[in-house]
Amino acid sequence: MTTSSPLQTAADPTTGNQEEGSIELRRVRRTYGDVTAVDDIDLTVHPGEFVTLLGPSGSGKTTTMMMVAGFEELTSGMVLINGRPVDKLPPKDRNLGVVFQSYALFPHLSARENVEFALRMRRVRPAERRQRAEEALERVGLAKLGDRRPRELSGGQQQRVALARALVFNPSALLLDEPMAALDKRLREQMQEEIKTIQRSLGISVLFVTHDQDEAMSMSDRIVVMRDGRIVQQGAPDDVYAHPVNDWVANFLGDANLLPCTVLERSGETAVVDLGELGVGRVRDRGASGDRYAVSIRPEHLAFIPADRTENSASGRVVTSTNLGATIRHRLRVGGQDLLLRELSAGRRTARELDGEVFVGWEQDEAQLLVLES
């Protein structure tokens, strides 16, 4: 049974290798002529961790992944898989499961033959590889469709085949390059959950590339935000979301209220800032320094409060209220600035009165001092 289980975890605790399934990049750099695509990146994916490279197109995230897979050469630096340098290893010997944006299924092979491919390359006997391929297809819910050609499968089904194909040979880690970009929203959400479930049950490390912040938020253990070939910020999804280091990250990861401020006092993780007409604020501080500062507050972290407070609050009026179904979005005019406030629509019976005076406040932990870059 141990030999025939196709999707057993790569990070096998019995081997005693603590680094089994890890990916490490040391000062990895890639230039094309004058263009620096990836600029001295240091990054570690720990065994069993789900790490997402998140950034707009041209941020170097796909190039970074392709260097890990061995399809792009490094200009300088080093990639280690399972703690061993792989710079001399061709892609076929890196033992990584790669799922491409286009799925890249072999069109002339059936779904099962596609899944069998890696085993065939590893000279696994036909009977065994057929069995392992069947089991892998079963795991992704395609047990009955093994005989179909890729063109006879829907986009979501092709994607599952690609996933089964990348997992069937017990790879050290899984690399996913925008695998859900071609799926519609509902299917995408379903696949996100399935991939996450499979990843957890196998305990396999995943390096995931996407430009979709919702996808990154919902799937990752750690998000690595990339811009212009550099890592701008990394951390747990809710941490990066609530505490962006600069206005670019704040805006890239969803809506943000950015309140320009001057810093009055910084002590450890807290800063006291002057928000002008919005009064004095006591906010979270990451210690980043720059020329100009702002406080970032997510719209859902702003709340209506009954009365003004001395800190972390302001008064203003409601300009528009839009019901979005699950949430209501209020546009407020506060101290000469436009703010967005989002609240759950559950329990609310009446829309907030327009133009009436309201008080809004926020929690110290959910307001982040950041550097204004633009």
CA distances to 6, 93, 106, 206 from 122, in Å: 14, 10, 17, 22
Instruction: Please state, as a whole number, how many other Cβ atoms lie within 10 Å of the Cβ of residue 121.
Output: 10
User: Which is closer to another protein, CB of 90 or CB of 325?
Assistant: 90
Interstrand relation of 222-227 and 230-235 (parallel, antiparallel or unpaired): antiparallel
At closest approach, how far in Å is the CB of 101 from another protein? 7
Does residue 284 belong to the site contacting another protein (CB under 8 A)?
no
CB 62 within 8 A of CB 246: no
Alpha-helical regions (H) of the chain: 61-69, 111-121, 126-139, 155-167, 185-202, 213-219, 237-242, 247-252
Binding mask 35-74 for another protein (x = CB under 8 A): ----------------------------------xxx---
Measured over the CA atoms of residue 178, residue 184, residue 185 and residue 187, the dihedral's sign is negative
Residue from 22, 52, 157, 192 touching another protein (CB under 8 A): that is 157
Greatest pairwise CA separation for the chain in angstroms: 76
- List the x/- string, 2-41, binding to another protein by CB under 8 A: ----------------------------------------
Q: Which is nearer to another protein, 151 or 185 (CB)?
A: 151
Is 121 a binding residue for another protein by CB under 8 A? The answer is yes
**CA atoms of 136 and 262, how far apart (whole Å):** 57
| Total number of residues that touch another protein (CB under 8 A) | 34
Q: Which of 58, 77, 91, 276 binds another protein (CB under 8 A)?
A: 91
Contact region with another protein (CB under 8 A), list: 107-115, 220-228, 313-321, 335-343: 107-115
Per-residue tokens: 119: 């085993």
Q: Does 174 bind another protein (CB under 8 A)?
A: no
> Could you tell me the smallest distance in angstroms from the CB atom of residue 108 to another protein?
4
Q: Considering the complex, what minimum distance in angstroms separates the CB of residue 298 from another protein? A: 35
Residue-wise DSSP of 119-140? HHHTT--HHHHHHHHHHHHHHT
Task: List contacts with another protein (CB under 8 A).
Answer: 69-71, 90-94, 96-98, 100-102, 104-109, 117-118, 121-122, 151-157, 165-166, 169
